């Protein structure tokens, strides 16, 4: 049996290493191959390349061939050349195909084994350009002529990479023997918990900063008003509130939360009615770690954060593609269907169909296109985070949280509002919002922001009206005189008026923090009961350049809080603990500096 390799192929040691020796000279007589289609895909794509491609994102190229014979042609291999603005970015002599193709006489697009496949993984992806060309050379054993094809002038556009922080939630009602009830970090760490998001969102999936654990202690949540050991419906509102408070205390390089900063809370197992819950739209969500659901639940709840509702669609007639086969190589205990590989069948459900398992879902062209045009991924105001220059963001932004009753006629609760001293980004006004936050400052300037009070979960019947979080810019050199929440009929549902600010004094923790750190304080307020006050506690490892939450939404009746200082970043004389208190519109803070946290894990 002779082996016959085309000379051009023999010149590519990379191709030979990837595919092994060329196939036997067994091509049928009269064999000829031609390239009938080149599809460039990053998650989902039409056969005519009409879905916008994203710069720096993992990219696959699928080449469909026609044969001149009615029997399969074995041993087909190929080389891909990619040119950006006329210059080749693939190494000579080209990028090798991932598979050794047996070319079928009637190829089916839904079968990845029916196409010659190439992949360019991130972060060495294709840069932004309106002139990207793909040329492929195709070889078969024997005397089969080389086939060539190309698709030219494709456009790759830049998109902002969001910052997806995650934290573990200790849901104490479901704990056993009083032990911490935390999810397994191995399930939710970078490269596992975010696998589905990286696979189907139109972002730079090779960016290490896309998804990472927040450098602060796990959130302890005890809400279970009906004693069901699950977070049902309205019981999720306080958890969203705590996650929102944590998010507003995350500061990096002097810049606080922006409209591109998200925080997701993972719970052990699935003690949630409906798999998860998210502000919709918003920046916080939480979800389960049930093995066959949790990766998709994360992507689903993030979709709600982006403002998407549930739908009932499947991928039909399109097919998705998991560049790099992330889910194909997922641990089998996560119940990913073995053998489905990279191709995602047209029968799969869209990511925003409620209640699906990970193997049953992907993203439709319509949802993908909507994500591409979403302002979150196009917000140029995020540029200061890249340059570590927060100057274009306002300081002392007012953050307001509360709950509106299901009828929209009253406030079920309104939390004391906080203003933090560092720059952060206000919420955008939602023109279709059913409610308005109206803020008047001490100079009489009125600022109004429209918003919705809506959350959504992972089942068709769990889109609830109620919880809200709104951030509004107030001139840094002015105080807030009043704030009001107003519904669509113009009715004032409630608010706060200016009063005498609280008085706060800290009892310094020891300069050397141990495994557990207790922060205590004395707190008085001349005209507001302590039961109406609320506190937040933050830690900085670097003298106030960056901050993380260590305890949030603390009742004003408390005089101390203890946190696990093994879960924060180490410091040596540069640590700072800061305590904030609000009575409604006044925010006061005190801090203790010069601390050392030598048992931190980061």
How many alpha carbons lie under 13 Å from residue 442 in its C-beta half-sphere?
10
**Are the beta carbons of 308 and 370 closer than 8 angstroms?**
yes
Q: Which fold has domain 7-157?
A: Immunoglobulin-like (2.60.40)
Class of domain 503-597: mainly beta
Does residue 337 register a pLDDT over 50? no
Span 389-414, pLDDT tens digits: 566 789 999 999 999 998 889 999 99
**Measured in whole angstroms, how far is the alpha carbon of residue 463 from the centre of its chain?**
20
Does pLDDT of 302 surpass 50?
Answer: yes
Name every residue whose Cβ is closer than 8 Å to that of residue 265 and which is 6 or more positions away in sequence.
166, 167, 168, 169, 219, 239, 243, 284, 285, 286, 287
The structure's pTM equals: 0.93
Whether 21 shows a pLDDT value over 80: the answer reads: no
Segment 255-270 mean pLDDT: 95
Our measurement of the distance from residue 512's CA atom to the centroid of its chain's CA atoms, rounded to an integer in Å, reads: 36
Q: Are 482 and 533 in contact (CB under 8 A)?
A: no
Strands (E), 158-205: 163-171
The 3-state DSSP class for residue 40 equals strand
Q: Write down the pLDDT at residue 138.
A: 97
Domains 7-157 and 163-380 share a fold: no
Do the beta carbons of residue 403 and residue 411 sit within 8 Å?
Answer: yes
How much of the chain, in percent, has pLDDT values that exceed 90? 75
The C-alpha atoms of residue 496 and residue 416 are separated, in whole angstroms, by 8
Provide the pLDDT for residue 4: 42
Q: What are 89-112's pLDDT values in tens digits? A: 999 899 999 999 999 999 999 999
Q: What is the pLDDT of residues 566-599, one digit of tens each?
A: 999 999 999 999 999 999 999 999 999 999 999 9
Q: Is the pLDDT of residue 47 over 60?
A: yes
Task: Extract the tokens encoding 207.
Answer: 């960016």
- Residue 220 pairs in a beta bridge with 170
Closest CA to 243 of 284, 209, 303: 284
Where are the chain's structural domains?
7-157, 163-380, 391-497, 503-597
Burial of 16 from C-beta contacts in 10 A (0-12 / 13-18 / 19+): middle
pLDDT score recorded for residue 328: 61
Q: 329 falls in which pLDDT band (50, 70, 90)?
A: low
- If we measure between CA atoms, which residue out of 472, 252, 262, 259 comes closest to residue 379? 259
* Residue 362 banded pLDDT, cuts 50, 70, 90: very high
Q: Is the pLDDT of residue 454 over 80?
A: yes
Beta strands across the sheet bearing 560-564: 503-507, 516-524, 560-564
CATH class of segment(s) 163-380: alpha beta
Each residue of 55-93: pLDDT tens digit? Answer: 999 999 999 999 988 999 999 999 999 999 999 999 989
- pLDDT per residue over 208-246, tens digit each? 899 999 999 999 999 999 999 999 889 999 999 999 999
Give the sign of the dihedral formed by CA 110, CA 114, CA 115, CA 116.
Answer: positive
Tokens of 552: 């949030």
Sign of the Cα torsion 477, 470, 258, 165 reads positive
pLDDT of residue 326: 78
pLDDT at 26: 59
Average pLDDT, the chain: 89
User: Cα(407)–Cα(586) distance, rounded to whole angstroms?
Assistant: 30
Residue 233 has a pLDDT of 86
Residue 152 has pLDDT above 60, yes or no: yes
């Amino acid at each position: 049996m002779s082996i016959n390799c085309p000379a051009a192929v023999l010149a590519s040691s990379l191709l030979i290493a990837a595919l092994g020796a060329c196939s036997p000279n067994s091509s049928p007589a009269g064999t000829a191959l031609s390239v009938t289609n080149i599809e460039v895909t990053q998650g989902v794509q039409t056969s005519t390349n009409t879905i916008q491609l994203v710069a720096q994102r993992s990219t696959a190229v699928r080449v469909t061939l026609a044969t001149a014979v009615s029997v399969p042609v074995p041993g087909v291999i190929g080389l891909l050349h990619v040119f950006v603005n006329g210059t080749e970015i693939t190494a000579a002599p080209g990028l090798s195909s991932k598979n050794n193709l047996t070319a079928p006489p009637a190829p089916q697009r839904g079968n990845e084994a029916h196409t010659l496949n190439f992949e360019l993984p991130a972060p060495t992806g294709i840069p932004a350009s309106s002139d990207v060309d793909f040329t492929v050379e195709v070889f078969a054993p024997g005397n089969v002529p080389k086939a060539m094809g190309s698709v030219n002038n494709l456009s790759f556009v830049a998109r902002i990479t969001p910052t997806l922080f995650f934290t573990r939630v200790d849901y104490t009602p479901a704990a056993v023997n009083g032990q911490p009830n935390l999810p397994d970090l191995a399930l939710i760490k970078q490269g596992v918990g975010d696998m589905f998001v990286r696979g189907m969102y139109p972002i730079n999936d090779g960016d290490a900063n896309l998804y990472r654990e927040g450098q602060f202690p796990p959130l302890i949540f005890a809400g279970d008003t009906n004693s069901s050991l699950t977070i049902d419906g309205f019981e999720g509102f306080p958890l969203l509130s705590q996650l929102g408070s944590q998010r507003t205390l995350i500061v990096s390089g002097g810049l606080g939360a922006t409209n591109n900063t998200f925080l997701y809370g993972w719970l052990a197992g699935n003690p949630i009615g409906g798999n998860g819950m998210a502000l919709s739209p918003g920046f916080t969500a939480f979800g389960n770690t049930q093995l066959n659901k949790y990766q998709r639940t994360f992507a689903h709840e993030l979709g709600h954060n982006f403002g998407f509702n549930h739908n009932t669609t499947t991928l039909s007639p399109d097919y998705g593609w998991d560049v790099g086969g992330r889910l194909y190589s997922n641990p089998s205990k996560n119940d990913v269907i073995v053998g489905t590989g990279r191709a995602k069948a047209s029968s799969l459900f869209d990511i925003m169909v409620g209640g699906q398992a990970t193997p049953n879902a992907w993203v439709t062209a319509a949802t993908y296109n909507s994500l591409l045009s979403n302002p979150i991924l196009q917000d140029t105001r995020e540029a200061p985070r890249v340059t570590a220059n927060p100057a274009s963001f306002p300081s002392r932004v007012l953050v307001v949280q509360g709950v509106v009753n299901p009828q929209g006629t009253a406030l079920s609760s309104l939390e004391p509002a906080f203003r933090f001293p560092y720059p952060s980004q206000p919420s955008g006004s939602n023109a279709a919002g059913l409610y308005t936050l109206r803020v008047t400052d001490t100079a009489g300037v009125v600022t109004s922001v429209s918003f919705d009070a809506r959350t959504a979960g992972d089942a068709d019947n769990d889109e609830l009206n109620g919880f809200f979080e709104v951030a509004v810019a107030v001139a840094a050199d002015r105080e807030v005189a009043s704030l009001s929440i107003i519904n669509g009929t113009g009715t004032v549902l409630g608010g706060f008026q200016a009063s005498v600010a609280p008085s706060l004094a800290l009892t310094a923790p020891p300069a050397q923090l141990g495994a557990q750190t207790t922060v205590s304080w004395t707190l008085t307020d001349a005209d507001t009961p302590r039961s109406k006050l609320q506190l937040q506690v933050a830690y900085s490892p670097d003298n106030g350049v960056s901050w993380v939450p260590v305890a949030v939404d603390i009742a004003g009746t408390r005089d101390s809080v203890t946190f696990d200082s093994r879960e924060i970043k180490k410091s040596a004389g540069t640590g700072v603990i800061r305590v904030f208190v609000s009575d409604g519109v006044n925010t006061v803070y005190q801090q203790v500096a010069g601390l050392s946290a030598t048992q931190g894990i980061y």
